[in-house]
Amino acid sequence: MFPRIQLRINDRIIINSEGFVSEIEDSIMNFKLKGSDMIPAVVNSELVAIGGWKLNAVSLIHSKASSEMVVKGWKSLEQLLPMDRLLIPFLYSTGIDYIRFRFSGVEPKWVKLLRLCYWYERCLGLNGLDFHYKQTEIKRAILKPLRNTEKTLNNKGKGFLPALEQLSRTITSYTSELTFPVLTNECSNKVSFNKNHDFFFDTLPCEVKSVYSHMTIERNKDETPKLNIHGQILGEKLNPSEEFFKFASSRKVLGHIFKAHSQGGKLVFLNATHTFASLLLYLLSKRKEGDFSFCNALNNAVKLARKTKERLPVLIVSSISSYEHQTIAFVVPMPLQLFQRLEKNEEP
């Protein structure tokens, strides 16, 4: 049977899976969910119930989030996307992971759908912004990997996990493209949308990219599974500028930044939540070795963009689930000569 998971910090319930009930019948794990479990419902001002789980929006999405806004966003997105169909593959994969590894993440995979709903609704609430082209883009981008994922389920699950990974990353990428305009607007109230760029901050065109570190799960017989996040081993003394520049200069990450630069971005927002750099950002913020707030990073990036044309400001951003959700960031000034080398197919 699937284990019951509850995460509580002080008096706040972060996650509770008590409604996610499973039974083993003829060596098959069956999940006992009601039709009402397939759409989010408000439990209280913070908790959303969906898929048999209760999930805290303040802890998992944004410190200012509410369960009502998440549910409202789900209903708004239903005008573009079949949200109930989007939920099914993530429910299915939860069972697969547990059967294969006897391992389940504390956070269910469909939390990413709730994040998409919240930030979509927040973008709809930005006054006077032309958002219709982004809505069309989101619909087209997500429907394609969803259909591919559904095809694998109809084909006895062959190719399901790679298809689901593509769907998951597409959802995460577009959530980033919705999140950063809202957070930027909270800092300055100077955001606008334009079909040629992800968004504008004042007169500066902004591009958003999402990157991932290589992660593997290892499990030998009768052993507890191990999650390995591949990255550099760090010492006690860290130089943030040096460490994040090395991260941004790695071939894979630099490729994303180069693409953003080629698209005309003068500010680049890099969602590094699923990377080794996110762990570094969290460590530095807990050590209180500087101001890693999103607004401080944004202010530094804007100053750099207006000061010089020789370096491209890249905001490395991490989203941290905690008692209250945190978004932390650091700016890396990337020399444009690195991109000139890439254009010539030279090593950066």
**pLDDT class for 100, splitting at 50, 70, 90?**
low
Kindly give, in sequence order, each residue whose CB lies less than 8 Å from that of residue 194, ignoring residues fewer than 6 positions away. 200, 205
Q: In whole angstroms, what is the distance from residue 203 CA to residue 289 CA?
A: 32
What average pLDDT does the segment 308-337 reach?
A: 92
Q: Is the pLDDT of residue 154 over 80?
A: yes
Q: Cα(7)–Cα(36) distance, rounded to whole angstroms?
A: 23
49 & 175 share domain? yes
Confidence of residue 230 (pLDDT cuts 50, 70, 90): very low
Asked if the model's pLDDT at residue 21 lies above 50, the reply is: yes
Do 166 and 246 fall into the same domain? no
Distance CA 235, CA 115 (A): 34
Closest CA to 207 of 252, 264, 249: 264
Q: Which residues pair with 194 in a beta bridge?
A: 197
pLDDT value of position 221:
56
**pTM for the structure as a whole:** 0.88
CA atoms within 13 A on the CB side of 310: 1
* pLDDT tier at 36, thresholds 50, 70, 90: confident
- Residues 246 and 134: their CA atoms lie apart, in Å, by 33
Domain assignment of residue 200, yes or no: no
Res 155: pLDDT: 80
Claim to verify: residue 24 and residue 149 sit in the same structural domain: yes
Q: Are residues 170 and 287 in the same domain?
A: no
The two beta strands, 12-16 and 6-9, are antiparallel
Q: Would you say residue 116 has pLDDT above 90? A: yes
167-177 average pLDDT score: 95
Pair (223, 184) in one structural domain: no
Reference 343, options 268, 244, 261; nearest CA is 261
User: Is 304 among the domain residues?
Assistant: yes
| Domain termination site, one of 189, 214, 236 | 189
pLDDT at 216: 46
196 found inside a domain: no
Same domain, 88 and 176: yes
Beta strand spans in 190-252 (E)? 191-194, 197-201, 204-212, 215-218, 226-229
Indicate the number of domains in the chain. Answer: 2
Residue 60 domain-assigned (yes or no): yes
Statement to judge: residues 132 and 214 lie in one domain: no
**Above 50 in pLDDT, residue 217?**
no
Cα torsion through 233, 235, 237, 243, rounded to 10? -10
Query: Of 129, 156, 189, which residue is a domain's last?
Result: 189
AA letter at 160: F
The answer on 212 and 185 residing in a single domain is no
Shared domain check, 50 and 169:
yes
Whole-number pLDDT of residue 225: 47
Between CA 105 and CA 253 the distance in angstroms is 26
DSSP 248-307: HHSHHHHHHHHHHHHTT-SEEEEEEEESHHHHHHHHHHHTT-S--BHHHHHHHHHHHHHH
What distances in angstroms separate CA 23 from CA 32, 287, 327, one per listed residue?
Answer: 8, 45, 38
Domain match, 297 and 149 both = no
Residue 293 DSSP code: B
Residue 96 CA from chain centroid, whole number:
22
Task: Answer whether residue 228 shows pLDDT above 50.
Answer: no
Count Cα atoms within 13 angstroms, Cβ side, for 153: 16
Residue by residue, DSSP assigns 159-202 as THHHHHHHHHHHHHHHHHHHHHHHHHHHHHS-EEEETTEEEEET
Q: What domain range includes position 305?
A: 205-343
- Supply the pLDDT for residue 273: 92
Task: Say what the pLDDT of residue 43 is.
Answer: 96
- Claim to verify: residue 134 and residue 227 sit in the same structural domain: no
- Dist CA 245 CA 331 (whole Å): 9
**The one-letter amino acid at 13:** I
Report which secondary-structure segment, H or E, holds 15: strand 12-16
